[in-house]
Structure 1
Amino acid sequence: MNILQINGSARANGANSTRVADAITARLKARHPDATVELRDLARDPHPMLDEAALGALFTPADQRTPEQAARVALDDALIAQLKRADVIVLGVPMYNFGVSVQTKSWIDAIARAGQTFRYTANGPEGLVTGKKVYVGLARGGIYRDTPHDAQVPYLKGVLGLLGMTDVEFIYAEGVNMGPERVQAAFDAVEAQIAEAIA
């Protein structure tokens, strides 16, 4: 088993979403001691955002790209290859202003590429990244699960599903900005959720 952990926080140290992701990966390793883990920390190793230059490179035929364009596309290619190698993906996703972090969004923008991870068909898009289990570790300052304010879960279900990843488990750490007792309760709940999800 190859586990890919993506830390999507802007913080390299002390991120609650990374704490959730680490706990998920630790449980997976305990259950599968021979598993390998690839870690991509987007705070320590940020991926460039999708901008006009990147779009120009992606929409230029490979044999016509400048060296700079080829180098930019190669950065996304590396993330796609890493994703395809993985059997299990663990995402650490903080909530920033009701959405995902720019670090997480840049990773998604890199891996969501028509012809590589999904394709358009006469019946609509078809995901090409199939047969993978995804665990999403969510950290939120307040309580948003199953409320209209939770824009993250529908978005992540939608974009991961577009790519073919439909076996997705969400692990919630909520209320982490509501005082020390709530932090402890949140991570007690995380441990219980992980134990149930990875028996």
Structure 2
Amino acid sequence: MTKILHIDASARPGLSGIDPHGSHTRRLSARFVARWRASRPEDPIEYLDVGQSPPAPVTGPWINAAFTKLEAREPWMHEVLAESDRLVDQLLAADVVVVGLPMYNFSVPAQFKAYIDNIVRVGRTFGFDRAQSPVPYWPLLSEAGKRVVLLGSRGDFGYGDSQRIAHLNHAEASVRTALGYIGITEVFDAAVEYDEFGGPLLSRSIEQAENAVDQLVDRLMK
């Protein structure tokens, strides 16, 4: 079986095309999961909505606790890291992670950045040793075989690779960087554009994105 972790990061609670002011990314991620479930109903799917219930942001005590060796941690340190530990455990258990990830002001929503900050964890998803020279960091998930699908939405158009404003896209790019740092390098994406234009341009972009989602599901199930 393949275990799916389904994450939504949009601040919008509904699905576009169904709910007023609904989210395109929730629509795409729901489509991915529904198509997967239709073909592989036995595969477990876990859901995490960081858009509506974001993780706590990293704090000074959190950093102190994370960089303290496990055997030296005080009780309060375990408490402050408890949510992060749950999120890391959830990620470690997943084979495929599908994320509904809208672009907010050229990058990811703050809610999803808090998620990334909680799962990029020293000793859990990346290693660190000052004595290791010249680079004291290394990924811990390189051999885990995890695959990630980023399903985005953008108000403007032309954010894709080699397109007119690709250099302004710090959403998928920043997530790929963080995931690569911990050893997850198989990352796929599709996105709706023209959200602020509406009309036939948006409709056509949604159709193209949904077709891309279907193709990604079929590809990853092989």
Question: Do the structures match in fold with TM over 0.5?
Answer: yes
**Helix, strand or coil: the match of 1:114?**
coil
Q: Is the 8 A contact 1:12 1:41 kept in 2?
A: no
Task: State how 1:17-96 maps to structure 2 within 5 Å.
Answer: 17-63=25-71, 65-96=73-104
Q: What is the CA distance between 1:39 and its match in structure 2?
A: 0.4
Q: 1:154 aligns with which of 158, 173, 178?
A: 173
How many pairs does the alignment contain? 199
Q: 2:155 aligns with which of 141, 157, 175?
A: 141
Residue-by-residue CA offset, 1:127-146 (whole Å, 9 max, x unaligned): 22220111110111111212
* Residue 10, structure 1, aligned to residue 11, structure 2: yes
Taking the aligned partners of 2:190 and 2:74, their CA distance within structure 1 comes to: 43
The letter for the 2-side match of 1:12 is P
Change (3 A) 1:27 1:51: same
The letter for the 1-side match of 2:122 is A
Equivalent pairs: percent with the same residue? 31
Residue-by-residue CA offset, 1:43-101 (whole Å, 9 max, x unaligned): 33220011223223323444554544322201100000000111110011111110101
* Residue 118, structure 1, aligned to residue 126, structure 2: yes
Taking the aligned partners of 1:46 and 1:18, their CA distance within structure 2 comes to: 15
Taking the aligned partners of 2:213 and 2:24, their CA distance within structure 1 comes to: 15
Q: 1:169 aligns with which of 185, 188, 200?
A: 188
**Helix, strand or coil: the match of 2:52?**
coil
Structure whose CA Rg is larger:
2
Q: Is the 8 A contact 1:20 1:139 kept in 2?
A: no
> Which residue of structure 2 aligns with residue 100 of structure 1?
108
Q: What is the CA distance between 1:181 and its match in structure 2?
A: 2.4
Taking the aligned partners of 1:115 and 1:64, their CA distance within structure 2 comes to: 14
The letter for the 1-side match of 2:52 is R
The letter for the 2-side match of 1:175 is Y
Taking the aligned partners of 2:27 and 2:116, their CA distance within structure 1 comes to: 21
**Helix, strand or coil: the match of 1:40?**
strand
Taking the aligned partners of 2:79 and 2:214, their CA distance within structure 1 comes to: 42
**Helix, strand or coil: the match of 2:168?**
coil
Taking the aligned partners of 2:13 and 2:66, their CA distance within structure 1 comes to: 29
Taking the aligned partners of 2:59 and 2:202, their CA distance within structure 1 comes to: 37
> Which residue of structure 1 aligns with residue 146 of structure 2?
132
Which runs of 5 or more residues in structure 1 are unaligned?
none
Which runs of 5 or more residues in structure 2 are unaligned?
15-21
Change (3 A) 1:187 1:126: same
Return the TM-score normalized by structure 2: 0.82
Q: What is the CA distance between 1:152 and its match in structure 2?
A: 1.9
120-129 or 136-145: which moved more? Answer: 120-129
